[in-house]
Amino acid sequence: MPFDNENTYIKMTESGNEEKFHTEYEKALKTVEKWFNVEYPNLVVEEVYEKDKLFHVSPLDGKTNLGTFQMSSKETSERAAEIAHKSYKKWFELGYLARARIFLAAADMLSERKFEFAAVLSYENGKNRYEAMGDVDETIDFMRYYAQQLISNEGYIKFTGTAYYGEDSKSVMKPYGVILVISPFNFFSITAGMVSGPLVVGNSVILKPSSDIPLSSYKFIELLHAAGVPKENLIYLSGSGGRVGRALYTNDYVEGVVFTGSRDIGMKIFKEAQEKRPKVMVTEMGGKDTIVVTAKCDIDKAVEGVARSAFGYSGQKCSACSLALIEEPIYDIFKKKLVEFTSKLSVDDPRKKGTFTGPVVNKDAYVKFQEVMKTVPDQKILYGGSIKKMDGYYVENTILDNVNDPNIERVELFLPILAIKPVRSLHEAVQFINMSEYGLTGGIFSEDRKEIDYYFKNAEVGVVYANRRRGGSTGAMVGSQPFVGWKMSGTTGKGTGSFYYLPQFLREQAQTIVRE
């Protein structure tokens, strides 16, 4: 079965339905308002309400209540882990075809409701309509792709031959049991992919979503339950990572953790979860994503690719370009053109049709931006550098000129702050990249194939692009561009949206029968 990405906006535009896209999105903005200002329970087979609550505020204005969620207690977490453990074998024994069909059905259900989910993401984490729809599309892609991978690999059961006369052997991949998913705020699709992978192959999953997107995550779990995933095999627990997450990743019933977030938190979980015994650890821990622009580039293409990558979704993508290394002969003209292009990117309410960059996700990010900018000399600010005088958590897209500050050039900021720096050669640029502790995404702009080949061969980065105008280091597509971090950007060297992803959640059993 060929895999086809959802690509809603592109397909609707190509078919002459662009205006319908905007109409449907704007209608959904009104439809989903009925989901706001409601209390949502934890889902541990039954609905569970806790003593302590979390109040979910929209970054669009800093005050709209999108919902009240539960701060999960230790007792609820422990009960959830026990329930999930006791039930996983029954889910696995349902068979790989049945599980795959449930996920294909869920993907179709989400496709029918895609505008609602996109609208919620605009309210919840500040994405413009194009980014929000792309996020939902990627969720649909993950579910379909993983289901198809499970089918095409026949449930990961392979006959392995006869070592001794009269013996028949096979390899059977089986689930570990309970997998805890601790997901980030920036991509609904990352949450969905982290849930779908271990679940479709037969594990039970407990989702502890980011406190910045609990609503879309809740609605996704509801949808999977409606599609046929048993409630005891897919549990939703909201709350803080430090309180809820630790109670779960140290729990003896939890056999593995899938985490996307910061390096420091990822390494903390990696160490603490395995204090007693080894557990499956699949982590993606961010990056310091760098684009190289050589003197042999198409400079307009490079400017657009760098800016779109740096400032799309307020620089809050794991793959966002936060550092650009520019060869000296074109440095001055590049930065002039970069400022000109960036000045045309609208920072505004993401519900508006023409908005490119919305708010940062929460007050903490808003304050962090201001704290970072206090450390930057005024003469180093080429563009931006200030907060926007409007309700909500809006800041200016910011370009910094050769700051030579490791806290800017080496640290992942997760903000719309781009540092640019001159280099003498491509070789120097690649050396600079390889000295970074991160290795998630990157890109090069050059019209010289030898330069591209050199970069691809030598850059110690998991995802690399050449001459990508739509985003020089961003925009990996499920099935075509596995998303994988090297070095401190990840722990497995296997990418999401890849044919290597699902086996990480399975353990091999070699079975041999002696014929009589």
Q: Which domains does the chain have, with CATH numbers?
A: 12-285+492-514 (3.40.605.10), 289-477 (3.40.309.10)
Cα within 13 Å of Cα(16), Cβ side: 0
Q: Give yes or no for residue 1 having a pLDDT over 60.
A: no
Considering only the C-alpha atoms of the chain, give the largest distance between any 2 of them, rounded to a whole number of Å: 84
Q: Where are the beta strands (DSSP E) in 328-397?
A: 381-383
Helix, strand, coil tally for the chain in percent (to 5) = 45, 20, 35
The confidence score (pLDDT) of residue 245 equals 86
The tens digit of pLDDT for each residue in 285-335 reads 989 999 999 999 999 999 999 999 999 999 999 999 999 999 999 999 999
Q: Are 286 and 412 in contact (CB under 8 A)?
A: yes
Given 284, 327, 396, 412, the catalytic residue = 284
Question: Which among 86, 8, 106 is positioned nearest to 45, based on CA atoms?
Answer: 86
Beta strand 157-161 with 167-175 is antiparallel
pLDDT in tens, 96-131: 999 999 999 999 999 999 999 999 999 999 999 999
Using CA atoms, how far apart are residues 38 and 53, in angstroms rounded to an integer? 12
Mapped onto helix, strand or coil, the DSSP state of residue 456 is: helix
251: burial class by Cβ within 10 Å (0-12, 13-18, 19+)? buried
| Whole-number average pLDDT of the chain | 96
Residues 6+ away with beta carbon under 8 Å from 367: none
516, pLDDT greater than 80: no
Question: What is the percent of the chain where pLDDT is above 70?
Answer: 100
pLDDT in tens, 354-393: 999 999 999 999 999 999 999 999 999 999 999 999 999 9
Q: How confident is the model at residue 338 (pLDDT cuts 50, 70, 90)?
A: very high
Nearest of 47, 69, 46, 44 to residue 56 by alpha carbon:
69
Whether the predicted pLDDT of 79 surpasses 90: yes
CA gap 321, 97 in Å, rounded? 40
pLDDT of residue 240: 84
Going by pLDDT thresholds of 50, 70 and 90, the confidence category of residue 254 is: very high
pLDDT (tens digit per residue) in 10-57: 999 999 999 999 999 999 999 999 999 999 999 999 999 999 999 999
Is residue 318 annotated as a catalytic residue, yes or no?
Answer: yes
Beta bridge partners of 423: 327
Q: Is the pLDDT of residue 161 over 90?
A: no
How confident is the model at residue 130, as a pLDDT?
97
What pTM was estimated for this model as a whole?
A: 0.96
CA 121/CA 258 separation, integer angstroms = 22
Does residue 245 or residue 466 have the better pLDDT?
A: 466
The values of phi and psi at residue 271, to 5°, are -80, -50
Length of the chain: 516
DSSP state, 50?
A: -
Please pick, among 297, 318, 321, 396, the residue that the annotation labels catalytic: 318
- Considering only CA atoms, give the Rg of the chain: 23
Are 268 and 182 in contact, with CB atoms under 8 Å apart?
no
Phi, psi angles (nearest 5°) of residue 70: -90, 140
What pLDDT is attached to residue 328? 98
Q: What is the DSSP string of 294-310?
A: -TTS-HHHHHHHHHHHH
Q: For residue 275, what are the contacts with CB-CB under 8 A and spacing of at least 6?
A: 250
Residue 374 CB contacts under 8 Å (≥ 6 apart), including other chains: none
Lowest mean pLDDT among 240-244, 407-411, 460-464, 496-500: 240-244
Residue 231 phi/psi, 5-degree rounding, is -65, -30
Closest CA to 321 of 426, 455, 412: 412
